[in-house]
Amino acid sequence: MTAATSETLTARVWRALATVVDPELDEPITGLGFVSDVQVRLHDDGGHAVAVRLRLPTYLPKRPEASRSGAATSPENCFLPAGSVSTSTVCAPNFAYLMVADAHDAVLALPSVGTVEVVLEDHFAAESGFGGAFPGQGGGEPAELRLTFRRKAHLACLERAVRRLVGEGWQIDALSAGRLGDVPESPERESLLRRRAELGLSTDPGSPLLVEDDGEAVAPERVAGRLRFAKAVRVSIEGNSGLCRGLLHTRYPETRTAREEVSS
């Protein structure tokens, strides 16, 4: 295997990682600056081992006594944010392990990749795993958590698509009869189709635009309430996106772009 081929695989790994999105922010982890390093090694059997390092805006610092003793970076050896009563109130690890799992699966799906290691830098749960950090929550794939965030992302995309329709003259009362095909070709439409596909919802142009979590059409009397909730979810996601970027730039100044440096 030549160096040039290894470089090509590295590029493909980055492209695969670009398909992984922050479950709450709904943006690629590469664009958010969460991927700090990718290393590719060639095995004797011709396969490749890939190591990926992720870094996140928030983390729990280790207590001084734990650092001095060399104790593991476990929840009991770290500071909890003010007001937290347990690690279950800390959200970042939930997001972190969804992204770790998605990054692992995306890279492992590449041809010639035999093993994948995803390391979470400076994170209290990095050594204990999801099950260790959240005992009693299954210890494996946090499927319910993933479903919750996918539904939130779908609602945010739905609200953006509806705002586009309203901007083009649609009345709120008419939206209950709207179809997916009524949304014009646009980034909003592409995002909505992707999110519906992830949830197993219909992407047929003739399917209802406004749907409940189970895919059933929203009843006319529920349209206003559904859209208010969708707007609240969208605003929350966009607010958190700015907060996360600010925290990441503060923690890792090298992630700031020249444009962000000028505008800050």
Q: Which residues contact 19 (CB under 8 A, 6 or more apart)?
A: 28, 106
Give mean pLDDT, residues 79-93.
Answer: 46
Rounded CA separation 264/128 (Å): 37
Beta-bridge partner residues of 208: 179
CA distance 254 to 33: 10
Note the pLDDT tens digit of each residue in 133-153. Answer: 444 433 445 677 778 888 988
Distances (CA, A) of 228 to 77, 177, 223, 252: 42, 18, 9, 36
Strand partners, 211: 217
A 10 A CB-CB count for 171 gives 8
Positive or negative, the Cα torsion across 135, 136, 142, 144? negative
117/212 Cα distance (integer angstroms): 37
Q: Read off the pLDDT of each residue in 17-38 and give the average, rounded to a whole number.
A: 85
> Is 183 in contact with 165 (CB distance < 8 Å)?
yes
pTM exceeds 0.75:
no
Q: Are residues 208 and 218 in contact, defined by beta-carbon separation less than 8 angstroms?
A: yes
Q: Please compute the mean of the pLDDT values over residues 88-106 and round it to a whole number.
A: 69
Tokens for 68? 């001095």
Dump the DSSP string for 67-116: HHHT----GGGBPPPTT--SGGG--HHHHHHHHHHHHHHHHHTSTTEEEE
Query: Worst-scoring range by mean pLDDT, 22-36, 81-95, 166-180?
Result: 81-95
d(CA 72, CA 124): 9
Q: Which residues have C-beta within 8 Å of that of residue 66, sequence separation ≥ 6?
A: 73, 77, 78
Which tens digits make up the pLDDT trace of 167-225?
Answer: 999 998 899 999 999 999 999 999 899 999 989 999 999 999 999 999 999 999 999 99
> Given this model, what pLDDT does residue 61 score?
56
**92 neighbors 75 (Cβ within 8 angstroms):** no
The answer to whether residues 175 and 210 touch, using CB atoms and an 8 Å cutoff, is yes
